[in-house]
């Protein structure tokens, strides 16, 4: 036997450590297959495999009762109907404990809650014609310009009530707005609940990292010109979200992040750990679970595409938990329905944590730990 034959023979007889994964099976997809069987059995490679890993990480580890899950939302998800179809079931079943969203997602979701319709359309229309006809386009979603005007009017009317004439964080702002959205749904007998109304009912705090960067913020700005006193305390939001994460850890639990898209909401949900460790000087390690759905590349340097391993260098992710991270490069409008349906199929509802009701107590705990950390440094 020559040297080459000896090498081949040795390799054939050895156990190759990288060949431990399940075999890829090119079996036909059966008729009427369930979502869990489809994902587990047929999402076998590339980003389909990453989406399978995301579903499994979410249901097998992140949805344990001791994990507090923060979800960030970026991109025009609610105009596509994903508020009522996916985000609401995630909240109602206790699969999400706190949320950071663009204000736009909360604003556009309210269209449905106050009785308006958005329509399927085409991305290849002449926008000059749409402008003349008073039709708004979000890629291939179309709706009447009056939908914006009516929604603006709804928010301005609500924001003029006495309870809004003070300074507050965005969690309190959205909780109070959610009460009015829920009331409007009841009056109109709207069947599918909105994100704000559902978060209000379930005690899930909803934050907006850039409250002025949306039509809700624009309408708050209008009330200021009209002499009203609504003020948004963005610094409270920074500390309050950090308090949510610290509370989860100090109570003997863990923290996970479920990120759809990137941008400012992604940063805001992740910066909680650097706020705790770097700025406040409190001993902590980072989030335990990281699951992101994104279409952004990491090599451009933008946060939207930044990987979990990069987040470790910032203290955002616990380095010991890096295996419990998944990034799937998939359009959120594809991934969110799959993840939601898979989770509803594979996991029973969790007990609601109702973190909104515990914000004051958690802030006091954060203050005590910060005070102790300062004394140690003196």
State both tokens at 344: 């509803």
CA distance 318 to 204: 25
Tell me the β-bridge partners of 256: 69, 289
Question: Whole-angstrom Cα distance, residue 211 to residue 232?
Answer: 8
Q: How far apart are the first and last CA of the chain?
A: 74
Question: Under 8 Å CB-to-CB from 47, ≥6 apart: which residues?
Answer: 328, 329, 330
CA 116 to mean position of chain CA atoms:
25
CA distance 68 to 355: 10
CA-only gyration radius of the chain, Å: 23
- Kindly report the length of the chain: 378
**Annotated catalytic residue within 3, 16, 61, 316:** 316
In the residue annotation, 316 being an active-site residue is answered as yes
DSSP-assigned beta bridge partners for residue 136: 143
Helices (H), 83-126: 88-92, 103-113
- 3-state class of 33 per DSSP? coil
Which residues, 6 or more positions from 245, have their beta carbon under 8 angstroms from its beta carbon? 68, 70, 255, 272, 273, 276, 287
Give catalytic residues, as residue numbers: 316
């Amino acid at each position: 036997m020559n040297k080459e034959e000896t090498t081949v023979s040795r390799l054939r007889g050895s156990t190759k450590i990288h060949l431990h994964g399940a075999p890829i099976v090119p079996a036909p997809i059966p008729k009427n297959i369930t979502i869990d069987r489809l994902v587990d059995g047929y999402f076998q490679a590339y980003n389909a495999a990453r989406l399978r890993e995301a579903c499994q990480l979410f249901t097998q580890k992140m949805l344990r009762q001791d994990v507090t899950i923060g979800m960030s939302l970026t991109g025009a998800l609610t105009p596509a109907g994903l508020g009522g179809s996916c985000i609401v079931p995630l909240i109602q079943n206790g699969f999400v404990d706190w949320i950071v969203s663009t204000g736009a997602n909360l604003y556009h979701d309210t269209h449905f809650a106050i009785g308006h319709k958005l329509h399927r359309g085409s991305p290849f229309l002449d926008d000059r014609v749409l402008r003349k006809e008073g039709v708004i386009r979000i890629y291939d979603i179309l709706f009447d310009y009056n939908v914006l005007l009516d929604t603006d009017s709804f928010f301005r009317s609500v924001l003029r009530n006495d309870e809004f004439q003070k300074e507050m964080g965005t969690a309190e702002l959205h909780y109070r707005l959610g009460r009015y959205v829920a009331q409007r749904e009841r009056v109109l007998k709207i069947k599918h609940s909105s994100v704000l109304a559902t978060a209000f009912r379930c005690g899930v705090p909803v934050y907006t990292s850039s409250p002025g960067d949306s039509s809700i913020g624009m309408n708050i700005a209008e009330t200021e010109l009209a002499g009203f006193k609504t003020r948004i305390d963005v610094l409270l939001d920074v500390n309050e979200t950090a308090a949510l994460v610290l509370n989860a850890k100090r109570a003997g639990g863990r923290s996970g992040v479920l990120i759809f898209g990137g941008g400012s909401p992604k940063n805001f949900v992740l910066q909680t750990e650097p706020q705790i460790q770097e700025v406040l000087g409190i001993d902590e390690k980072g989030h335990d679970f990281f699951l992101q759905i994104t279409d952004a590349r990491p090599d451009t340097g933008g946060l939207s595409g930044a990987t979990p391993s990069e987040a470790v260098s910032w203290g955002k992710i616990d380095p010991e938990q890096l295996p419990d991270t998944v990034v799937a490069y998939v359009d959120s409008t594809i991934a969110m329905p799959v993840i939601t349906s898979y989770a509803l199929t594979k996991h029973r509802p969790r007990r609601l944590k109702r973190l909104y009701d515990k914000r004051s107590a958690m802030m006091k705990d954060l203050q005590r730990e910060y005070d102790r950390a300062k004394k140690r440094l003196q």
